[in-house]
Structure 1
Amino acid sequence: MKYFFSILFVTVLFSCKNSQNTVLNPSTKAAYGVVDVYAKETQIPATVKPLLDLWLRDTFVKLGNDGYYYLTGTIGMEGRTTSRDLSPGLQIWRSKDLKKWEDLGIVWSLDKDATWQGEFDVVKGGPKEDLNQNLIGEKRRTLWAPEVHYIKSQKTYFVVACVPENPNGNGSYILKSTSGKAEGPYVNIKDNEKGPIFPRIDGSLFEDEDGTTYFIGHNHEIAKMKPDMSGFAEPLRKFNETKYETEPYIEGAYIVKEGGKYHLIQAIWSVRQPDGTFSYNGLNPYKNNKVREQNLYSYDVVVASADNIYGPYSERYTVATGGGHNNFFKDKKGNWWSTMFGNPRGDLMKRPFVTRAAIFPIKYKDGKFSIDDNR
């Protein structure tokens, strides 16, 4: 069965009897954090369809040094629709044209290649249901949000991935390819040989033009890497960011550089407010079931920019409604693209196509990224 992605562009009509959805007056500037989830310019094109017919979250694509694009993401065991309990490890695909994808298989296995990451964690209280209503057992061993980066200064590939629960600690770790190839084999870098190098999920890497590489951490943290990529060269520090009045939970931090500026890309939920508007000025949806089930609309891509990698960063702006936990990458012609997967929670994603890897064209103009409807 082929899965096709279709986004329903919503036209909102106002009347005294129907005021659930409120659209901002275009003549007035909205308060920072208020978002128009129906804005035409942030809707993912209806022509976008999956790259693979496979359950996958947190899609990551990047051009390697060998002319191949490499794709990875969060996967579960074969035949399952969750990664919250068990995962086989790191799976990678490659393509020359972003259309036909070759499966390189599990290039780093939790059974055969992992060290401390391969230990099972015991879920306290026994079996329970996860957020996708899949029954999980007492044991879990997962690999979330992997990214594959070619670091030019090291002439090899590095993988950043994370584990939400493990006897040796929760958090992110970095693997290094010993062959110089994206398919590995991979080994732990020195500073995470015995446990996570970072105590939270969703780590990332960014190599600057001078070869300096930085680790980007979940919930707004950054640290410069040592020249040999064996660990952090400095203590973790917080980005200097423009905050919302009520700072919400944010995931999937990633950095690109364009136009001489650093662009901090993050994933954030839009939440329906009591007055019918939508805002990023909200609660943590994962800690409040009522908020999660009733008021989430879309898992969005937001971007903030700065002249210095540490900040200060501008106010965040929305690039793609429903495209959250993604990355931006350039193709061989210099065109920008964004990945996506379609979060299976929230009003927007009640569609036939969710949790599938996809990409859509974006552009950089006048200092900002936006969806490119002309490609």
Structure 2
Amino acid sequence: MSIKNTIKNWVLCSALLAALPITVTAGNKAEIGVVKDFKVTSQLASRDQAVRMFEGEFFRDPYIYLGPDDYYYLTGTRRHHLSGGSKKDWTSEGVELWRSKDLSSWELLAVPRRLGDLSWVDGLKAHSDEVGKGNARVWAPEIHFINDKWVIVHTTSVRKAMLYVADKAEGPYVETELSTTIDHKHDPSFFHDDDGKVYLTHRVDTVVEMTPDFNELTDNEFKVKPANRKMGHEGLYLTKVNDRYVIFGTAWSTDKIGRGSYNMYYATATDIRGPYSDRRYMGRFLGHGTPFQDREGQWWTTAFQNGKTMDFNTITKAKGLEKKKYTVFKDGIYLVPLELTVKSDGDVFFTPLDSRLVQPGPEEVQKF
């Protein structure tokens, strides 16, 4: 994709996920090659609503990337997807990689990297025993193509990020030197600037330049944030549209973890270090989405269920939303069409084209 926090976060997420040993089971490759055709081509073409796929499956942090081979690649945190475990199990010890030509029909290309395959798995187990009760799971993986290499980065449930590189999207992947020392980087992502520099972004405000071989983090680390306030809680994502740098971040509408709706916000600047604009409202229920352009240049963002699902008409009449954790989304993943507006001064603005997502809720702390 060319466009493309706190301890409380950690405690909350850990409470939501069931524990899973770091070991992997036999037969995990049985699903490779499976094709899921969601037959949503006409819905995607209409670009007036969020389009749901992977119905019935618990799928968080969905990430989509249009590769140089003209395939779309999809990954994320998905439950019971490797060895046919029960729906109460989290088998996210591997990075699952799907690909598609049309955003509708998806093939499971590979599970190119698993925690149990790491050369330093014993060290990770020791780290898991220290901070994660002996268990580790893959969270929020992303795949990028940078400097003629496919690069996978993700965090884990035990505050340890990972980074791997390969010549092909499906692998084989090798661990970079950085992968054993990168330590905790919450929701890590990459940004490849026009001048060739590669940056790792993480938490909600941290950007650090990397060496071109992905083996080291340089001393060039800096913070990015909106001019008027903190962006949010997690999910820093950096991209560039024309000459504007855009930082996206995630926050609960009440500024309290797990209260209100899980939303996306953004800010823009003409320099990567800023200063950035005030925090702008991107869309309701779109938290930890990843904006991307399709091959026609149209903008989308991913979305997923985080909160109790409520009908939108019910939401509009509901009281006490500041005490709830609510969403209009169900399980699976969603593709949400976005409209990009470029002003005369070059500044850029994003608006979701699904009318349910445009306006903030009445419990929104920031007024827009």
TM-score for both structures, normalised by structure 1? 0.69
- 1:119 corresponding residue in structure 2: 125
Secondary structure class of the residue paired with 2:164: strand
- 2:202 corresponding residue in structure 1: 217
- 1:61 corresponding residue in structure 2: 64
Cα distance, 1:207 vs. partner?
Answer: 0.6
What are the superposed Cα offsets for residues 105-139 of structure 1, whole Å, 9 maximum, x if unpaired?
A: 32112223463475262378xxxxxxxxxxxx953
Aligned with residue 183 of structure 1, among 170, 178, 182: 170
Could you tell me how far apart the structure 2 residues matched to 1:47 and 1:202 are?
24
Instruction: Give the length in aligned residue pairs.
Output: 288
Aligned with residue 143 of structure 2, among 148, 151, 157: 148
Partner AA of 1:303 in structure 2 = Y
- 1:344 corresponding residue in structure 2: 307
Structure 1 residues 155-234: aligned runs within 5 Å:
155-165=148-158, 170-177=159-166, 180-192=167-179, 194-195=180-181, 197-234=182-219
Could you tell me how far apart the structure 2 residues matched to 1:323 and 1:335 are?
18
What are the superposed Cα offsets for residues 312-342 of structure 1, whole Å, 9 maximum, x if unpaired?
A: 1111112220011011111111111111112
Change (3 A) 1:223 1:321: same
Change (3 A) 1:88 1:309: same
Aligned with residue 91 of structure 1, among 93, 96, 116: 96
8 A contact 1:86–1:140 mirrored in 2: no
Cα distance, 1:95 vs. partner?
Answer: 0.1
8 A contact 1:240–1:310 mirrored in 2: no
Cα distance, 1:233 vs. partner?
Answer: 2.3
What are the superposed Cα offsets for residues 206-259 of structure 1, whole Å, 9 maximum, x if unpaired?
A: 111222111111131011111222221224321253242xx4751111111113
TM-score for both structures, normalised by structure 2? 0.70
Secondary structure class of the residue paired with 2:217: coil
Change (3 A) 1:240 1:325: closer
Change (3 A) 1:189 1:67: same
Which structure is higher in helix share?
2
8 A contact 1:108–1:114 mirrored in 2: no
Aligned with residue 255 of structure 1, among 220, 238, 247: 238
RMSD of aligned alpha carbons: 3.0
Partner AA of 2:235 in structure 1 = G
Is there any run of 5+ residues in structure 1 with no aligned partner, and where?
A: 6-43, 125-136, 272-281, 286-291
Partner AA of 2:140 in structure 1 = A
Cα distance, 1:372 vs. partner?
Answer: 3.1
Could you tell me how far apart the structure 1 residues matched to 2:88 and 2:95 are?
15
Could you tell me how far apart the structure 2 residues matched to 1:95 and 1:233 are?
35
- 1:309 corresponding residue in structure 2: 272
1:139 aligns with 2:134: yes
